[in-house]
Amino acid sequence: MTFKLLAVSAALIGFTVTGAVIPGICDEAARATPVVTAAASQQTAPDFAGISSWFNSKPLNIAELRGKVVLVDFWTYGCVNCVNTLPHVTDLYAKYKDKGLVVVGVHTPEFPFERSASNVQAALKRHGITYPVAQDNESKTWNAYRNRYWPAQYIIDQNGKIVFQHEGEGSYDETDRTVGRLLNANS
């Protein structure tokens, strides 16, 4: 073994053992780790921008949703991780929709075939999604939220402030507790 090969092998073993990520090579591993920001930034939620189509609803805007708890769910139907979260989002919607929760799915495509409105409509039917979904083909809402990953959820309180953010799968109980706490604070 040459010294260079030995050094590279040792470095890779070190990264594997410590769980470190090699930038530019192992970015997917870093994205797989969910990010939860319980207090989030308390910034005012941006409005829905550049939406090409709305499904299951008339066009919505954040100002009209003041007084409600809003879950904004960034997803795309071609993303396995997104599809894995959909049963949890639809269950949350069913549990709290009559108590003041509004779920807005923001379908932001990653690939060209995901831009088709008929494909999005078919995905909504396939997954039993009845809450409002905005088709963000130009990523304008994605960019307004400074979102970086699929899936990602943002919980907005009754005053229009982002109070919770989660990227990736998981943290379903924490998301449920956050929504429940906000809705109970309002009753």
Predicted local confidence at residue 31, as pLDDT? 41
Q: Between 125 and 8, whose confidence is greater?
A: 125
Domain identity same for 97 and 174: yes
Average pLDDT of 151-163? Answer: 97
d(CA 58, CA 50) in angstroms, rounded, equals 15
Q: How confident is the model at residue 120 (pLDDT cuts 50, 70, 90)?
A: very high
Mean pLDDT of the chain: 85
- 126 and 62 co-located in one domain: yes
Reference 69, options 38, 92, 52, 88; nearest CA is 92
> Are 5 and 42 in a shared domain?
no
Domain count, the chain: 2
pLDDT classification of 121: cutoffs 50, 70, 90? very high
pLDDT digits (tens, 9 = 90+) for 138-156: 999 999 999 999 999 999 9
Which one-letter amino acid corresponds to residue 45?
Answer: A
Residues 143 and 71 both lie in one domain: yes
Same domain (yes/no): 165, 102: yes
- Three-class secondary structure of residue 62 per DSSP: coil
CA separation for the pair 133, 72 (Å, rounded): 9
**Coil, helix or strand at residue 23:** coil
> Is there a single domain that holds both residue 75 and residue 157?
yes
CATH number at residue 154: 3.40.30.10
Is residue 26 domain-shared with residue 97, that is, in the same domain?
Answer: no
- Residue 43, pLDDT > 60, answer yes
Check whether 39 has a pLDDT greater than 60: no
The residue segments making up the domain with residue 174 are 34-185
- Whether residues 89 and 2 share a domain: the answer is no
**Amino acid letter, 65:** L
Residue 4: band (very low, low, confident or very high) from pLDDT cuts 50, 70, 90: low
Interval 7-32: pLDDT, tens = 545 554 444 444 443 333 333 333 43
- Residues 47-91 pLDDT 10s: 999 999 999 999 999 999 999 999 999 999 999 999 999 999 999
Instruction: Record the pTM.
Output: 0.79
